[in-house]
Amino acid sequence: MPFVNGERKTVAGHDVSRSPYDPQKLTRFTTEHPDIQFVVVQWLDYLGTLRSRWLPITAFDKLVKAGNRIGISKGNLGTLQNDKTTPVCDPVGQILVEPDLDSLRIMQTKGMIGPAASTCMARFVDNSMQPLSLCPRNQLQGFAETLEQDYHINLLVGFEIEVTFCRRGALGPNGHFAPLDSNHAWGTLSDEQLAHAFPLMAAISLELKGMGIEIEQLHSESGAGQYEFVLPPLPPVQAVDTLVQARQCIQQIAAAQGLRATYHPQPFPGIGTAAHAHISLNSDSLTAEELEKIEMSFWASVLEHLPALCAFTMPQAGSYGRVVDDSWTNGTWVAWGTQNREVPLRRVETYGVGNGSRWEVRCLDGLANMYLALGAVVGAGLHGVRNGTKMVMKDCTSNPTTLSDEQKNEMGITQRLPTTLDQAIEALQQSGSLAEALAPGIVSHYLAMKQAEQKMLSLMPQHERKRWLMERY
């Protein structure tokens, strides 16, 4: 049973274990990396902006040994990307940023910073050192721990990093950026790519390896200048930590070569850019039948809540350029299918005896706060496990657009995904069950911020808005 400061603590009704700092972890890290001079403590805000606080290594060592945290204003939970305030920005009071030493890594050794800096992801706690319920990282950890403790389920998550490398200042399709290369298609290795892109990809891969991030594959994607790095499966919070740190490394190495690496879902006309998440439910104690029953309840509930979840997983108006049929994206129908890339939820394959299947969430892109987006997906799934939600939707092994209305009805495919952010936000506003499944205040806080953000973005011309987002994500 998890305890915090001698007392059991829950987030959104889910146990969240908290251990005090282990100074030996920092000692081992600094012994292994004696050139480290700074620790960059980092966290994602609600809108996916990576925020940070730099500490000289001596100050960080002092903070850890004293068991202290970093104080920031409570209002920082409610500011936009440019620090403009929202209705949920309350400058009265403070929250504490608690570095998680398990996430401590060196930053890349080449580029603008060199070997002197390390990165450490953080969560939020209150003045009593208790986990803050509005912290998306705490929420995700709480859901993962509940699945493990109450249902003997261990989650593993592996992300695909799709990224577009751009040249700044060039006359490109959006007037400011141009793709790094154009003699380019999925899985190709043209002379142009070999001269420009793949040396960059190799340099990034070696830097990631030096950080302790072993990628599984890398290849060109379909869009001009678009490439993919495949990360290994990890427990949910560790998977998102690794994703954030890897994406930062990619952008920093690209910037050192005068390029912009962006995760925008449609930086140029044509093929979109996603951030697919592969999720598996695993167990060492359940039978295959017991695990499959839980697994199907989990994904049935995710599908039931999918239109509302899109407000978290595809959080910008530009995200919905990918919600189209017949494009190998995620289609427009709420559906699932084995090895089907025209549905938003793809079942990939079956693991060995005693483990479940791997499922790919495809309606997800790089503009999301991934702690928040993955937490919402897992929270919806946990809601289904608790309630024994039945999977009434059948395995769709065809492109839904090729099915008649009668055939779709027979398979339980009756609902479409949102095709605009406004539709997704409306679905989230109307989904009381999802708000109840997530930590108290998460949905209302997020909605208030999104409404303020979209009002700000709506004042920009479309080309300026895209450039603004590409510079930030």
pLDDT in tens, 293-319: 999 999 999 999 999 999 999 999 999
Please check whether residue 193 is in contact with residue 220, taking contact to mean a CB–CB distance below 8 angstroms. yes
Q: Which of 201-210, 228-237, 320-329 has the lowest mean pLDDT?
A: 320-329
Residue 355 banded pLDDT, cuts 50, 70, 90: low
Residues 68 and 185 in one domain: no
Domain-embedded: residue 13? no
Query: Which residues, other chains included, contact 286 with Cβ-Cβ below 8 Å and sequence gap of 6+?
Result: 152, 153, 294, 354
Average pLDDT over residues 408-433: 95
Residue 258's domain spans which residues? Answer: 151-472
Average pLDDT over residues 264-268: 93
Average pLDDT over residues 21-42: 93
Instruction: Give the helix, strand, coil percentages of the chain, each rounded to 5.
Output: 40, 20, 40
- Give the whole-number percent of the chain exceeding pLDDT 70: 92
DSSP β-bridge partners for residue 158: 278
In 222-326, DSSP assigns E strands to 226-230, 259-262, 277-282
Q: What is the pLDDT of residues 129-149, one digit of tens each?
A: 899 999 999 999 999 999 999
The whole-angstrom separation of Cα 335 and Cα 317 is 22
| Helical residues (DSSP H) of 262-369, grouped into ranges | 288-304, 306-313
Average pLDDT over residues 421-443: 96
Domain-embedded: residue 144? no
- Give the whole-number percent of the chain exceeding pLDDT 90: 78
Ramachandran region of residue 285, left (φ > 0), alpha (ψ -120 to 50) or beta? alpha
pLDDT value, residue 14:
38
Identity of residue 146: T
The whole-angstrom separation of Cα 429 and Cα 11 is 22
Residues 303 and 449 in one domain: yes
Question: What's 21's DSSP letter?
Answer: -
pLDDT > 90? residue 152: yes
What are the φ/ψ torsions at residue 249 (nearest 5 degrees)? -60, -45
pLDDT value, residue 113:
65
**Residue in 359, 412, 464, 472 with CA at minimum distance from that of residue 44:** 472
Residues 209 and 354 in one domain: yes
Average pLDDT over residues 46-64: 96
Residues 191 and 68 in one domain: no
pLDDT > 90? residue 284: yes
Q: What is the pLDDT of residues 360-402, one digit of tens each?
A: 999 999 999 999 999 999 999 999 999 999 999 999 999 988 9
Q: How many CA atoms lie within 13 A of 235 on its CB side?
A: 15
Give me the CATH number covering residue 219.
3.30.590.10
Q: What is the pLDDT of residues 386-395, one digit of tens each?
A: 999 999 999 9
Domain-embedded: residue 143? no
**Torsion of the alpha carbons at 208, 209, 214 and 219, rounded to the nearest 10:** 60
**Residue in 107, 137, 125, 146 with CA at minimum distance from that of residue 14:** 146
**Residue in 91, 87, 136, 172 with CA at minimum distance from that of residue 374:** 136
Domain-embedded: residue 14? no
Residues 237 and 369 in one domain: yes
pLDDT value, residue 269:
85
**Residue in 163, 189, 169, 245 with CA at minimum distance from that of residue 212:** 245
Residue 110 corresponds to which tokens in the numbers above?
């080449």
Instruction: Specify the residue for token string 């966290």.
Output: 43
pLDDT value, residue 12:
40
Domain-embedded: residue 1? no
Q: Which of 79-88, 131-140, 320-329 has the lowest mean pLDDT?
A: 320-329
Ramachandran region of residue 317, left (φ > 0), alpha (ψ -120 to 50) or beta? alpha
Residue 200 corresponds to which tokens in the numbers above?
């960059």
Domain-embedded: residue 10? no
Domain-embedded: residue 449? yes
pLDDT > 50? residue 16: no
pLDDT value, residue 459:
95
Neighbours of 139 (CB within 10 A): 28
Residues 161 and 285 in one domain: yes
Number of domains in the chain: 2
pLDDT > 60? residue 3: no
What are the φ/ψ torsions at residue 425 (nearest 5 degrees)? -65, -40
pTM of the model: 0.92
pLDDT value, residue 253:
93
Residue 265 banded pLDDT, cuts 50, 70, 90: very high
Instruction: Specify the residue for token string 């249902």.
Output: 151
pLDDT > 80? residue 250: yes
pLDDT > 70? residue 1: no
- Distances from the Cα of 455 to the Cα of 86, 257, 450, 458, angstroms: 11, 35, 8, 5
Residues 196 and 227 in one domain: yes
Instruction: Specify the residue for token string 């199907």.
Output: 296
pLDDT > 50? residue 352: no
The whole-angstrom separation of Cα 183 and Cα 191 is 8
Residues 31 and 122 in one domain: yes
pLDDT > 50? residue 6: no
Query: Which residues, other chains included, contact 321 with Cβ-Cβ below 8 Å and sequence gap of 6+?
Result: 265, 266, 272
The rounded mean pLDDT for the chain is: 90
Domain-embedded: residue 203? yes
DSSP β-bridge partners for residue 73: 94
**Residue in 413, 416, 369 with CA at minimum distance from that of residue 395:** 413
Residue 32 corresponds to which tokens in the numbers above?
């292994």
